[in-house]
């Protein structure tokens, strides 16, 4: 059958049976709208959380909590469990592991205050938790890449106190040293989670302006004074309490959620000064980067054999939860499309019966069974395409309404996205393909039966 003839037949069918075909296409449109809406919602929520809040290609492992002596144990002199270098080497050999980055927790009390240049007034905390990470881990995230490093890699002139150094520097003088060296402020990374928490919870409660990511990126002018060796909970047993200048240089998902992250060489130096050599020979946790998120299960299995456990399984749990909910909602859409296919089957069965003699006449005039099937299946495909496009349009409209309601009715909360939906071309093509598929599945049975009509019997009224 020629294309022009097929188009004329389809146009005539639409004019003659437009109402019946529209009813059949409505189910396809509704199912396609639901499928596209739910897929876009799942992808949008995943995009808003995974990557902004959680990272799925890495996992942080720490000693099992059962080995942690707790606060009472620490007060009695028990040692905090740590990860020896041999364990780090063993994890690096696991298949699919790209890098293993050790992290070192502060082994000393600390507090901090400052930020007036960026916030308008000084803010601070009387207890500052923190850790140190390898600068190579976060270099790709920062601009310029080398901004996160130990300032004493290039020390300034010898000094005894801060006033002998340049205005932006301070005198980095360990407790047991007679002379120190002028040093630039120590770079600090903070987590996006901390910024969101400050902007959405802390800042409104204290009348402060929100920081925002752009302000953090411009905060190179803001310095904080970090008191090392003393905090609200007490002071270090060794080393003299002193102050350092620190400066926020960027955001990183690898940074501590609630605290400060410094370059690993700086934390090693401070731990050695305030807690002894034992505090730098092993690590508090390790960050394992993998080539594929599917490799994390093997890393966790090997880690358990080495006495380690995941520090935070939120990324994995959130990813599984989003996938499960999206699959469940997509199943609902699939049921709707199945019902729409059944409706199309009924519609085409009725149309085939009402056109039995017409089809028989076409067969008597030379139309083959393939021509008849092509005609009816092309009609079904046109219903699928029209219904699919209508459903996609409806899904975009519903998504826009949902985003508007979220912006105007939902309170501002951490990591609230501009949109909860993502509509890549793959979703549109997949939803449209599924719509056409279910339409064809509904019509294939009636089309085959219609193509097998005996022209003589049908024209004779049999």
pLDDT grade for 314, boundaries at 50, 70 and 90: low
The per-residue pLDDT for 125 is 84
- Is 104 or 419 the better-scoring residue by pLDDT? 104
* Tens-place pLDDT, residues 82-115: 888 899 999 999 988 988 999 999 989 999 988 7
The per-residue pLDDT for 444 is 82
* CB-count exposure of residue 104 (10 Å: 0-12, 13-18, 19+): buried
The per-residue pLDDT for 171 is 94
Alpha-carbon distance values, 282 to 3, 62, 256, 393 (Å): 75, 12, 19, 57
The per-residue pLDDT for 66 is 59
* Tens-place pLDDT, residues 109-162: 999 988 776 666 777 788 899 999 999 888 888 877 788 999 999 899 999 988
The per-residue pLDDT for 301 is 86
The per-residue pLDDT for 455 is 60
**Which of 57-61, 79-83, 213-217, 316-320 is most confident?**
57-61
Alpha-carbon distance values, 333 to 206, 259, 339 (Å): 47, 44, 10
**Which of 25-34, 158-167, 417-426 is most confident?**
158-167
pLDDT grade for 27, boundaries at 50, 70 and 90: confident
The per-residue pLDDT for 72 is 43
- What is the layout of strands, in order, in the sheet containing 186-190? 123-125, 110-114, 223-228, 242-251, 186-190, 260-263, 130-133, 97-105, 285-290, 58-63, 308-310
- Is 207 or 261 the better-scoring residue by pLDDT? 261
Average pLDDT over residues 279-302: 84
Q: Which residues, 6 or more positions from 236, have their beta carbon under 8 angstroms from its beta carbon?
A: 108, 109, 229, 230, 274, 275
The per-residue pLDDT for 131 is 93
* Tens-place pLDDT, residues 347-393: 777 776 666 666 666 666 666 777 777 777 888 888 888 888 998 99
pLDDT grade for 278, boundaries at 50, 70 and 90: confident
The per-residue pLDDT for 201 is 67
pLDDT beyond 80 at 76 = no
The per-residue pLDDT for 74 is 41
pLDDT beyond 50 at 187 = yes
* Tens-place pLDDT, residues 440-453: 888 888 777 776 66
pLDDT grade for 185, boundaries at 50, 70 and 90: very high
DSSP assignment string, 100-163? EEEEEE--S-EEEEE-HHHHSS-EEESS--EEEE-HHHHGGGSSSGGGSS-GGGS--SEESSGG
The per-residue pLDDT for 150 is 93
The per-residue pLDDT for 413 is 61
The per-residue pLDDT for 10 is 66
- Is 311 or 35 the better-scoring residue by pLDDT? 35
Please provide the average confidence, as pLDDT, over all residues in the chain: 79
Q: What residue segments make up the domains of the chain, in order of their start?
A: 3-52+321-459, 58-291
- Is 461 or 36 the better-scoring residue by pLDDT? 36
Query: Considering the entire predicted model, what is its pTM?
Result: 0.60
pLDDT grade for 35, boundaries at 50, 70 and 90: confident
How far apart CA 303 and CA 409 sit, in angstroms, is 45
pLDDT grade for 165, boundaries at 50, 70 and 90: very high
Average pLDDT over residues 164-174: 90
The distance of Cα 455 from the centroid of its chain, to the nearest Å, equals 61
* Tens-place pLDDT, residues 192-248: 777 777 666 666 666 666 665 555 555 555 688 999 998 888 888 888 899 999 988
């Amino acid at each position: 059958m020629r294309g022009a003839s097929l188009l004329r037949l389809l146009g005539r069918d639409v004019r003659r049976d437009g109402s019946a075909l529209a009813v059949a296409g409505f189910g396809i449109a509704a199912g396609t709208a639901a499928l596209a809406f739910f897929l876009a919602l799942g992808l949008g929520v995943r995009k808003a959380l995974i990557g902004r809040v959680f990272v799925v290609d890495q996992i942080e492992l720490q000693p099992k909590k059962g080995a942690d002596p707790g606060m009472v144990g620490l007060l009695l002199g028990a040692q905090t469990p740590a990860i020896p270098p041999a364990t780090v080497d063993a994890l690096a050999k696991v298949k699919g592991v790209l890098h293993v980055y050790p992290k070192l927790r502060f082994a000393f009390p600390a507090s901090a205050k400052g930020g007036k240049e960026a916030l308008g007034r000084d803010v601070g905390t009387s207890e500052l938790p923190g850790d140190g990470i390898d600068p190579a881990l976060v270099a790709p995230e920062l601009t310029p890449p080398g901004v996160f490093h130990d300032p004493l890699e290039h020390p300034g002139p010898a000094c005894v106190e801060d006033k002998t150094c340049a205005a932006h520097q301070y005198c980095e003088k360990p407790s047991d040293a007679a002379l120190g060296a002028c040093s630039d402020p120590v770079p600090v990374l903070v987590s996006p989670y901390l910024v969101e928490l400050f902007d959405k919870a802390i800042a409104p409660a204290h009348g402060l302006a929100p920081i925002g990511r752009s302000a953090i990126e411009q905060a190179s002018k803001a310095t904080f004074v970090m008191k090392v060796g003393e905090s609200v909970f007490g002071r270090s047993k060794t080393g003299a309490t002193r102050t350092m200048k620190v400066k926020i240089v960027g955001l990183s998902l690898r940074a501590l959620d609630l605290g400060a992250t410094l370059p690993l060489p700086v934390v090693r130096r401070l731990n050695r000064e305030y807690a002894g050599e034992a505090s730098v020979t092993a690590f508090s946790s390790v960050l394992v980067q993998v080539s594929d998120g599917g490799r994390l299960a093997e890393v966790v299995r090997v880690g358990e054999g080495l006495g380690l456990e995941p520090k935070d399984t939120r990324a994995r749990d959130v990813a599984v939860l989003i996938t499960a909910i999206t699959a469940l909602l997509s199943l609902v859409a699939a049921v709707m499309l199945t019902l729409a296919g059944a409706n199309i089957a009924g519609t085409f069965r009725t149309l085939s019966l009402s056109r039995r003699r017409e089809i028989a006449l076409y067969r008597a005039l030379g139309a083959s069974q393939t021509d008849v099937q092509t005609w009816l299946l092309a009609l079904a495909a046109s219903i699928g395409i029209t219904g699919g496009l209508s459903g996609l349009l409806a899904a975009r409209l519903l998504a826009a309404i949902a985003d508007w309601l979220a912006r105007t009715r939902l309170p501002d909360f951490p990591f609230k996205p501009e949109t909860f939906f993502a509509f890549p071309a793959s979703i549109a093509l997949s939803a449209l393909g599924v719509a056409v598929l279910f339409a064809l599945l509904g019509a294939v049975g009636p089309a085959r039966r219609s193509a097998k009509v005996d022209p003589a019997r049908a024209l004779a009224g049999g």
